[in-house]
Amino acid sequence: MPADLYAITTVQDTLITQSARRNVRKLASAVGLALNIQPGRGLVMVLGTGNERNNQEALETWVAQALIERDLLPTREAIPMLLRELESTLTCWEMPS
């Protein structure tokens, strides 16, 4: 592949990746808002890998993984599925009263 063509492909891949990450962040924010997920670190070990700094980052990790597992694009059409799945996940982790 010529160097110019390789550079263009690399730039395009980077832009797509940046756009996808931005969309995952937006989806995570929307889902977090809908389920009233509070700031803090309580969900890092539940939703994330343990390396995230806060609930928002853990939620972003979870959203990205959920989309990959279901082979979905990070678009608003994924929100209903994400809400159902996250609600189910969090319900499994709730402490009994």
pLDDT 10s digits, 22-32: 999 999 999 99
Q: Is the pTM of this model over 0.75?
A: yes
Q: How far apart are CA 64 and CA 60, in angstroms?
A: 6
Identify the pLDDT of residue 14. 53
Q: How confident is the model at residue 16 (pLDDT cuts 50, 70, 90)?
A: low
Identify the pLDDT of residue 11. 44
Q: What is the pLDDT of residues 42-64, one digit of tens each?
A: 999 999 999 999 999 999 999 99
Taking each helix axis from N to C terminus, what angle separates 79-93 and 3-34, rounded to the nearest 10 degrees? Answer: 60
